[in-house]
Structure 1
């Protein structure tokens, strides 16, 4: 390949930080093949993953999938979508019916056999995307231990995922590897899942864009779920446009997840890509919650950065409304006080047992069996039971449904949403709520509301932080307009030093 660089007929593309749109153009102009792109990422994973532990497993069929995409591209109508031939990393709780494991990071589900692809994976395959592998995560999506006891991004299968900017910094969870693999240029885009902060938190800390869709806008079928009431599958990219390209391919009706039927109404005709508007901030009313969270910051430079961002938005047509009150924000931001933690305790056992019962092969078939597996002397040390425990497992195991305590709690959560966030948005005719980083996520989690985090800056140690835009159910179109316009005006993201500079130079040659 180095010899080919002397050929003036050969063009080049730098893969690091290349967007989906740029990659598709390179495909079209025969400057890049999917095989070369996938091989580039495999090489990057081999080089960087021993440090980052972002990827649990690489798909042994990834190169053959890339070859298929390359063959299809040369056929009439062969390019199936904007994601055709683009590698995607999946969180290890999203089922794939292939040679990859789907284990939620646990040894208990290693070598289990799923009945079929998850709904979102089925859509990705139909779009011609390449499934590159499975990403590290907080084991069992952080439902095993009591809060804060298990490190973010740790699993028995994958070890601990590291922040790609500052390795000593907590990387956030539970979609840790999904965020880090994108941030470190180990893949183009990825999928994560969120119950309560699991996309927006690690994306904020890893300097990438994360979209938490309205619950039910994307299918949860075939995805291990901690709570079907709150869980959602969402895209992660280095840019808003990359995340939106991926979002467009995974939204829509799935008969295996009926809630998706009622959310079709939120998908614009022609998809969300049309919402990538440079003037997307114009006339948008933003409820700014900075006054609630400013106390978190002692560094004047970070404060100044956020205030500069607010000014940029105002100067480009947004109407920022400051100092608005959300009547019950203290309650909804506390999972114990709101009842979220109690509801999740009931839902986890119910939803996990359903997922396990549908597996074709598995060492465990219930939460009871998962608890016993971790206590087994053959696995106890590997699962670090003595260090991290399984308190939430044990609490959830004691629950049973139907139960009036659970019913009353869900009714309380619904009322908190109606009287809090929804009233706040409606009373002030807001298009979006604005908050620093990921801090408002508990309020959004309990109501299934969408959010987007976009890189906003770097602290004195070099750790990224984000800005978050959130809205009522089905408001993705507005949020994308806002987030994209903000991103294009600020362009904050810079790759971590861990990412190596590399250029692929080649002709279209699927044999390479």
Structure 2
């Protein structure tokens, strides 16, 4: 989708959000728990459900300031985050940035839809004025010299950088059996729905923080599943953009062939607005679409369990009732993708992390990083393994002909798995379960996260979008939508229609688990 078409979609979503208003908070309807209480000074705004267009409208009429909104989110972080550990640090300049936004609004010089909107950044995104650690003490010293370009875009758009979110250390590319949501710098991030359950990785703090209404939007990053799985498991929306739309410069890498940052929010409208800022889309307008006449291929993945499969079958029925045609599909080549992806990532990680570490104070390459991790006590407080570092050090270089052949085959088969399936069934998108119900966090056992749905789009570099689909008991499950290269706008439009039909979001209750 071109910039003009994307802009028209954004304006349609904004208009729809202002027209329909936010859905009522289920927590409010049932009698809000203390964790869902409105912050001091903003009793008339439900942070759970308010959208960016609604906030903009209040800022425009003078009934809300960016300073008041920022103070509200800082209050919620202080009140709620001790339960979940999503936020590593807040930005001491956040209120100053909000005051600058208020001055622009008073002059009629607001910079766009994110001016004055608080944003959390995953702590592998460079910020010149805040530490960027990837969750490791190895990078906990001096901040980077410059902002990542995506942070520059957010600042230029007037967004308030609220702080840094915890993540799975090194984006879960350290140990053979990691525990998602844990880092040596931030400790454990917990799932706000059931606190002993996992938030999925590696954008765990970004997703859990959104579920707990600690920021209006957040930035995550993904190599394979690390935006969409946390979004699904924490009941929020996450977009993995088409590869190359968002600059990866200044982001701690795993693989330039698959890495991308992307927007996360509690609704598709806010996700789309943030995506527009990150990619430089120019807002203008076009009517929004519904589900009638859309063709969606459902990849059921019953291996994720009978409860998830039952939810997918109910979801298919709801989409059909809204006029969509849903056909069952099984994208080809999945076993071969699973065989090829990890060895390629090992070679790419060695190349790309060496290049990144050379720009930072601390270990200067992967060999030095492995030695730091092996000897630093904080790195062993959940699990001690660094098998992936060691395997990457032993992997063939990216100049090796065998590696090149495998990456070329990966690219070809992953794109064919989506393109051929969509062409054969004349689909607008492929849908699949994003995640199983969250497993219990257990440092000794590690993750239980064999989730194949994210791989085709991740390896192909195509967009994927997770929207809330429903619950298994108290635990959220997402619906993952995939489409072709650069079809991000079409996917967001379809995702907005799916979101309206399923109406599956509900606030977390911070249950203790067992």
The answer to whether the 8 A contact 1:214-1:449 is kept is yes
Q: Which residue of 2 aligns with 1:4?
A: none
Greater Cα shift, 51-60 or 29-38: 29-38
1:459 to 472, 482, 485: 472
1:282 to 268, 292, 297: 292
The answer to whether residue 375 in structure 2 is matched with residue 383 in structure 1 is no
Q: Which residue of 1 aligns with 2:20?
A: none
SS of the counterpart of 1:14? coil
Q: Which residue of 1 aligns with 2:187?
A: 159
Q: Which residue of 1 aligns with 2:61?
A: 29
Describe how 1:457-496 pairs up with structure 2 within 5 A.
457-460=470-473, 462-496=474-508
Q: Structure 1, residues 107-148: CA drift from partner, whole Å, max 9, x if none? A: 0001233131111110000100000000000000111111xx
2:206 to 166, 174, 178: 178
SS of the counterpart of 2:45? strand
SS of the counterpart of 1:388? coil
TM-fit CA distance, 1:49: 1.6
Describe how 1:187-206 pairs up with structure 2 within 5 A.
187-206=215-234
SS of the counterpart of 1:221? coil
The answer to whether residue 420 in structure 2 is matched with residue 423 in structure 1 is yes
TM-fit CA distance, 1:211: 0.5
The answer to whether the 8 A contact 1:11-1:31 is kept is no
Cα separation, 1, equivalents of 2:62 and 2:415? 53
Q: Structure 1, residues 423-466: CA drift from partner, whole Å, max 9, x if none? A: 22223332110111244111221111111111111112x01111
Q: Which residue of 2 aligns with 1:508?
A: none
Q: Which residue of 1 aligns with 2:128?
A: 97
The answer to whether the 8 A contact 1:182-1:208 is kept is yes
1:57 to 1:486, Cα distance in 2 relative to 1, 3 A:
same
Describe how 1:155-304 pairs up with structure 2 within 5 A.
155-252=183-280, 270=283, 274=286, 277=288, 279-290=289-300, 293-299=301-307, 303-304=309-310
The answer to whether the 8 A contact 1:374-1:385 is kept is no
Cα separation, 2, equivalents of 1:28 and 1:11? 19
1:351 to 1:53, Cα distance in 2 relative to 1, 3 A:
same
TM-fit CA distance, 1:320: 1.5
The answer to whether residue 144 in structure 2 is matched with residue 114 in structure 1 is yes
Q: Which residue of 2 aligns with 1:445?
A: 458
Q: Which residue of 1 aligns with 2:32?
A: none
Aligned residue pairs total 453
1:129 to 1:183, Cα distance in 2 relative to 1, 3 A:
same
TM-fit CA distance, 1:161: 0.4
Cα separation, 2, equivalents of 1:282 and 1:150? 43
The answer to whether residue 403 in structure 2 is matched with residue 395 in structure 1 is no
Q: Which residue of 1 aligns with 2:401?
A: 404
Cα separation, 2, equivalents of 1:419 and 1:131? 39
User: TM-score normalized by structure 1?
Assistant: 0.85
Q: Which residue of 1 aligns with 2:99?
A: 67
Q: Could you list the runs of 4 or more consecutive aligned residues of structure 1 that deviate by over 6 angstroms after TM superposition?
A: none
TM-fit CA distance, 1:303: 4.5
CA RMSD of aligned residues (A): 1.9
Q: Structure 1, residues 255-283: CA drift from partner, whole Å, max 9, x if none? A: xxxxxxxxxxxx6x646x757x2x33232
The answer to whether the 8 A contact 1:12-1:31 is kept is no
TM-fit CA distance, 1:13: 2.5
The answer to whether residue 345 in structure 2 is matched with residue 313 in structure 1 is no
Cα separation, 2, equivalents of 1:385 and 1:392? 18
Gaps spanning 5+ residues in structure 2: where?
Answer: 1-41, 436-450
Q: Which residue of 1 aligns with 2:362?
A: 363
